[in-house]
Amino acid sequence: MRLMIMTWLFWAMFANAEEAGTAWVKTEPIRYADMSYQLSGYGSITALPNSQLNMNIPRPGQVSKVYVFVGKKVKKDDLLYELTTAATVLKNYQQAELQLNTVKKELQRVERMYQANLATNSQLMTARKNMFDAQSSLNAEIKLGNNIAHDTVRSPIDGVVTLVQVEPGMRVQPAQAAISLVVNKGLYFQMGVIPELISSVSVGLPVHISSVFDPGVVINGHIQFITGMVDQNTGLVSVYSDLKDTHVSPGMRMQGVIEIGLGKKWQVPRSAVLLDSQGYYIFQVIDHHAKRVNVVAKEYDDITTIEGSFNKDLPVVVLGNYELKDGMAVKVNQ
């Protein structure tokens, strides 16, 4: 009610002053201060290719248990799945082991005969070569894990499960995709920015990231890199920010606000800047008269920055300026 009365009194004074050729106006000082602009947009949590780890099946067999699911957070050495090695694979290892034992005994026999001058150098070299070949074959089987009847596969990293392609009872083959992980610190927030504004975005700028479902929870990060092309599907340029929080998962939809520092600027309230066919302009009061000053203006929410030949020590008219003309007598409402 009080505000309505004050507004009515102001315009009543303005009307009375207009009849006398004088306009009542309200002014505010021009501020020179640091200016920042918030650029908002939407995106999602994503993982870069070099931060992803694909766990493949090591040998033929059958999956007996799976301990994880997509989105599950795991620590290093946490259980992922269990694999029972195929009987044919175990048989190959057992045969290689048996072959090694056989040629080892044969080598020992040939060495005794050689010491008794009952075997030739050629026979000894052949026995040693057979021993070497058998040992190499067994080592190869062990390297492949074919000596492990039941294998428990664990996570080699702290991360998040992004893909599970096995299930209990599934028969699998070597190199078959099983589980994919992404390193905790390998998650990024990918946000789209319209191409016309990308020139104001640079690496290192702070980004405030929040869930579209819970804006009150904010994660702070910084821009790490900017792609050099427009995404043909979205028409936007992708900006990637790191995350200082690991309580997120790939695919989560998020909102990002980029803090763009503009440096020190001359700032006035938005209502101080007017526009006509000649461009943007403001009014300043000099010797109780309105002085029009053309300016270059840019709007940022309720604040407008100006550049031009205005008097930086004089205030600008913020109320009553729509009725002013250059040189018009004015009175300032305190």
Q: 152 — phi, psi (to 5°)?
A: -105, 115
- pLDDT confidence of residue 246: 61
Asked if pLDDT for residue 6 goes beyond 60, the answer is no
- Reported confidence tier of residue 252, pLDDT bands at 50, 70, 90: confident
Q: Which has more pLDDT, 118 or 301?
A: 118
- pLDDT confidence of residue 270: 92
| DSSP run (H or E) holding 164 | strand 159-164
- pLDDT tens sequence across 46-75: 888 788 899 999 999 999 999 999 989 899
- pLDDT confidence of residue 77: 96
The tally of CA atoms less than 13 A away on the side-chain side of residue 79 is 9
Q: Is 57 helix (H, G, I), strand (E, B) or coil?
A: coil
| DSSP run (H or E) holding 90 | helix 87-115
Nearest alpha-carbon partner for 182 in 45, 44, 54, 43: 54
Which residues have a Cβ under 8 Å from the Cβ of 237 and sit 6 or more positions away? 192, 193, 194, 195, 198, 226, 227, 229, 230, 231
Region 235-247 average pLDDT? 85
Here the tokens at position 132 are: 């070497």
What's the whole-number average pLDDT of the chain?
89
Neighbours of 58 (CB within 10 A): 19
| DSSP run (H or E) holding 3 | helix 2-19
Q: Which residues pair with 85 in a beta bridge?
A: 61
Domains observed in the chain = 2-29+273-332 (2.40.420.20), 38-50+184-262 (2.40.30.170)
The CA distance from 174 to 166, in Å, is 13
Region 79-108 average pLDDT? 95
Rounding to the nearest 10 degrees, give the CA dihedral for residues 213, 217, 223, 227. -10
Nearest alpha-carbon partner for 223 in 197, 245, 205: 205
What's the whole-model pTM score? 0.59
